[in-house]
Amino acid sequence: MSDTEWACHELLLRLAGRLPDDILWRFRDWAATDAVVVLARALPRALLHDRIGLTDLEMNLLADAVLSNGADRAMLSSVEGVDELSESGYTFTAESPDRVSMGDSATAVLGATLRGRQGVGEVRSTWRQGGADQVTRRIVLIAATTGHARLTGEVQRVLRALGEHDPCVEVVPLGMELPPYHQAALAASEPICTGAEVDGHLVPV
């Protein structure tokens, strides 16, 4: 994974819960494809449209992710900087509060797909409530050592086919310090399966 791809994936990971889910999953779908050049234009525009501020670290990631793909520097300059992230307003639970119809099927399919897979460590899921739309969503947390953007896109497509229109798939590089959103999600998660990277735990042991 190039520096650009890495920066793009990490930035989109850190924007979980801040960009609308329907936009975020689409951008993540594009990140591992030829559409990354469109992403370079659409991502800054989406940040400006929703008035989403970025930390210094995220601002650097944004520049690394999109400038080399033709993003407008003037547009990047308009993105507001923030010192620290505000509370997300989400709560996480290990079990679905209102039992999403495709929940069990999704867990079974993810387990069958990712169990023993190369480059994949621990796979967990949790349920998120709150936010602007007040919709309960499944959050899938995956520890991975390689191919993060591609794995994200693949799992997203599986979940969409199973009935989740806006899948929330967080593929976390091993060793990454998790943002507050992901820490909260991880704290309320339960395991689905483990890939071939048996030491790739999301939860430090």
Partner 1 sequence: MANDVELPVRLHDLLLALAGRVDDDALSQARELLAVAEPDRAVELVVGCLLAGRIPVTDPERGQITDLLAELNSTRSLADLLNAVDTLPVPRHRFSAESDPADGIGEALAKVVTSLPDIRSVMCVWRSTPAGASPGPLPQRLVLVDIGPQGYAPATAYRIDRALRRAGLSAAVEVLRPATQLSDYHAAAVTTAREVKFSSSSSGGGHRDESGAWFDGPEDVRDQAPVVEPTPVPEIPETGSETPSPRRNRAESYEGAQPFPPKPVKRVVREAVDLVEEPPLPPALSPPTPPAVFNNAEVTMELGPDDLAALQAALADPNGLPPGAAVSVEATPAADAKLSDRERALLQQLHEELAQREDPPAQGDESGQWQIDRSGTQGSFQPPAWMGAQTNGDLVNGTQQNNGHPPYQS
Q: Shortest distance, CB of residue 99 to partner 1, whole angstroms?
A: 14
Residue 165 makes contact with partner 1 by CB under 8 A:
yes
Please give the structure tokens belonging to residue 46.
């989406």
Please give the structure tokens belonging to residue 154.
């693949």
Please give the structure tokens belonging to residue 28.
């993540």
Q: Which is nearer to partner 1, 143 or 171 (CB)?
A: 171
Using alpha carbons, select from 124, 140, 129, 123 the residue that is nearest to residue 93.
Answer: 129
Question: Can you state the percent helix, strand and coil of the chain, rounding each to 5?
Answer: 45, 20, 40
- Can you say how many angstroms the Cα of residue 59 is from the centroid of all Cα atoms in its chain? 17
Cα maximum dimension of the chain: 46
Q: Shortest distance, CB of residue 152 to partner 1, whole angstroms?
A: 12
Residue 21 makes contact with partner 1 by CB under 8 A:
no
Q: Which is nearer to partner 1, 148 or 182 (CB)?
A: 148
Residue 42 makes contact with partner 1 by CB under 8 A:
yes
Find the binder of partner 1 among 91, 101, 118, 183 (CB under 8 A): 101
Q: Which is nearer to partner 1, 26 or 182 (CB)?
A: 26
Q: Which is nearer to partner 1, 101 or 118 (CB)?
A: 101
N- to C-terminal Cα separation, the chain: 27
Find the binder of partner 1 among 39, 139, 155, 202 (CB under 8 A): 39
- Which phi and psi (to 5°) does residue 33 adopt? -130, -175
Residue 70 makes contact with partner 1 by CB under 8 A:
yes
Find the binder of partner 1 among 3, 22, 98, 199 (CB under 8 A): 22
- Can you say how many angstroms the Cα of residue 81 is from the centroid of all Cα atoms in its chain? 21
* Residues of the shown chain interacting with partner 1 in the complex, contacts defined by CB under 8 A: 22, 26, 29-30, 33-35, 37-39, 41-42, 45-46, 49, 70, 101-102, 156-157, 160-163, 165
